[in-house]
């Protein structure tokens, strides 16, 4: 179950710290940045778990022991919900209302998927949550939008040319 933690620490922790440092170009705020990192790690952990739910059968067939395979879809999603609620709580305690707004915006889909565990909602949980975060960050840092769109285009081309699937739907050409 280290699958989601590596993503959470890398993208929610290291990336947050690197961004915070590069924004100030000083190590003077390192302790403050470290103290404000946990909710971002929890938010990323929730999204990381959610993004593995569609892959359960393939991961199981390959012998992978992802969080979703080990816990099952419902329990893995419950863990993701708990992590998301933990992130919201920490954002609130730290008065990080920007981060809290992003996490709260994702919450309705997480809760809806608990009640209606459909394939569509399973996909929307992490895709919409990720998109909300990308748009919100781009509003504050417009250059991030350019980097994000560029990454999306290259990812789309990679999956199309190498794996012959349409990303992000991952629908094969033959369908």
pTM tops 0.95, yes or no:
no
Contact of 46 with 84, CB cutoff 8 Å: yes
Q: Which residue has the tokens 């959610």?
A: 50
- Identify whether the C-beta of residue 119 lies closer than 8 Å to the C-beta of residue 57: no
List per-residue pLDDT tens for the chain, 175 residues long.
Answer: 678 888 889 888 888 888 787 777 666 777 888 899 999 999 999 999 998 998 899 999 999 999 999 999 999 999 999 999 999 999 999 999 999 999 999 999 999 999 999 988 898 898 888 888 889 988 988 888 998 889 889 988 998 899 887 766 544 344 4
| DSSP string for residues in 29-49 | THHHHHHTSHHHHHHHHHHHH
Please name the fold of domain 2-140. Answer: 1.20.120
The count of other CB atoms within 10 Å of the CB of residue 126 is 23
Extents of the domains making up the chain: 2-140, 142-175
């Amino acid at each position: 179950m280290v699958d989601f933690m590596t993503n959470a620490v890398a993208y929610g922790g290291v990336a947050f710290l690197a961004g915070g440092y590069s924004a100030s170009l000083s190590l003077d705020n390192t302790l403050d940045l470290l103290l404000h990192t946990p909710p971002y790690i929890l938010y990323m952990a929730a999204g990381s778990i959610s993004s593995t739910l569609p892959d359960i059968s393939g991961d199981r067939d390959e012998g992978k022991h992802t969080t979703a395979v080990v816990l099952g879809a419902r329990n893995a999603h419950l863990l993701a919900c708990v992590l998301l609620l933990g992130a919201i709580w920490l954002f609130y305690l730290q008065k990080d209302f920007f981060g809290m707004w992003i996490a709260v915006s994702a919450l309705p889909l997480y809760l809806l998927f608990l009640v209606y565990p459909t394939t569509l909602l399973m996909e929307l949980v992490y895709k919409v949550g990720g998109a909300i975060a990308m748009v919100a960050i781009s509003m504050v840092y417009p250059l991030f939008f350019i980097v994000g769109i560029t990454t999306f285009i290259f990812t789309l081309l990679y999956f199309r040319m190498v794996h012959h699937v349409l990303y992000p739907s991952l629908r094969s050409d033959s369908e």
